[in-house]
Homo-oligomer: A and B are copies of this chain.
Amino acid sequence: MDARAHSSQEVLSTLQALVADDLKRVNQVIIDNMQSQVGLIPQLAGHIVSSGGKRLRPLLLLMSARLCGYAGDRHVPLAACVEFIHTATLLHDDVVDESELRRGKATANAVFGNKASVLVGDFLFSRAFQLMTRDGSLEVLRILSDASAVIAEGEVMQLLTSNDLETDEAAYLRVIESKTAKLFEAACQIGPVVADRPAADIEALARYGMALGVIFQLTDDLLDYSAEQAALGKTIGDDFREGKITLPVIVAHERGTAEERAFWSRTMEELDQREGDLEQAIELMRRHDAFGETLRRAETYGEIARASLQGFADGIERRTLDELISFCIARGF
């Protein structure tokens, strides 16, 4: 781990410490609201809710509220809503991807079956809307119902671009803006909304969240080809095995020779994959600087995110949100 990554890890700890009390309350709301007289629901939901996620989206909501000087309690259940929506999409994503591992643990659907994963996802999604309704803000309901529709569109787009090397960077960006960054955007907007801040602040934090979400997915897509991750014992190559067309693939394919393109076509479009193909893919990405290109794109979005924070008062909250940008980019190094 280089110095840059090290200081970035500290950012995450600072972030979590800053809102530690709130985060504890969010976790309690999550546990309370995934209960049901149908025992399988908390059992299955607990499997994914407790599977070591960073709670990044709730953290963003809590921090954006704090940045805006919010002193009430509404941000706590709303942060739980955002996590429920995220968890529901994970449950449905595991089904649709036919994946069997997530963060190294068996996915919920591998343990409990596809059927239960779809239905428990539906349950958590409904719970999120029950909590929002109890909160009573139509503006929050608008933000999160809009986000949910966009996320579903993004997931369908991803389905359509899978195994299709015609997918260009613009199409890829539309997918990740929709399926990932939209919920980051929503989480960051809700802080200024509950704090009753002017539209300009809501828009600025929306821009911050959208850019941070794009960075997060860019580095996520890069890490799936990271030899360093593999050396740390993490699973890599999930996207490769599914033929998911991410930016590293797009860049390597675009810059590749005819022979290399045939390799991409065989492995990603026909899903005809053999021993050593993942290593070959990583080698081609290195050769064509696909990782560097992906990180440069992340840094561009980093500039947007940083600029979005400029209107807010200086302080530990703004500095932490600013450092979070570097953290999300540094994940990719």
Enumerate chain A interface residues (CB-CB to B < 8 A).
36-38, 40-41, 88-89, 92, 95-97, 114-116, 118-120, 122-123, 125-127, 129-130, 132-134, 136, 138, 141-142, 145-146, 148-149, 151-153, 155-157, 159-160
Contacts and interface: CB of A to CB of B under 8 A. Distances in A.
29 contacts: A36-B153, A36-B156, A38-B153, A38-B156, A40-B159, A88-B122, A92-B119, A95-B95, A95-B114, A96-B118, A96-B119, A97-B115, A115-B159, A118-B118, A119-B152, A119-B155, A119-B159, A122-B155, A123-B152, A123-B153, A125-B125, A126-B145, A126-B151, A126-B152, A129-B141, A129-B145, A129-B148, A130-B149, A141-B141
A138 B148 CA distance: 19
Contacts of A160: 38, 40
A93 to B, nearest CB: 9
A295 B205 CA distance: 59
B133 A149 contact: no
Nearest to A179: B119
Nearest to A95: B118
A40 B88 CA distance: 21
A95 B157 CA distance: 20
B120 A152 contact: yes
A127 B153 contact: no
B36 A122 contact: no
A115 B96 contact: yes
A125 to B, nearest CB: 7
B114 A37 contact: no
Interface residues of chain A: helix, strand, loop or mixed (majority): helix
A130 B153 contact: no
A114, A119, A120, A157 interface centre (most CB from chain B within 10 Å): A119
Nearest to A124: B152
Contact of A149 (B126, B141, B146, B156): B126
Nearest to A123: B152
A160 to B, nearest CB: 6
Contacts of A92: 118-119, 122
A149 B116 CA distance: 14
Contacts of A134: 142
A141 B130 CA distance: 8
A241 B41 CA distance: 26
Nearest to A135: B138
A141 to B, nearest CB: 4
Given A122-B92, A153-B36, A156-B120, A130 B145 contact: yes
A120 B154 CA distance: 11
Contacts of A127: 149
A114 B141 CA distance: 29
A12 to B, nearest CB: 30
A152 B96 contact: no
Contacts of A97: 115
A15 to B, nearest CB: 29
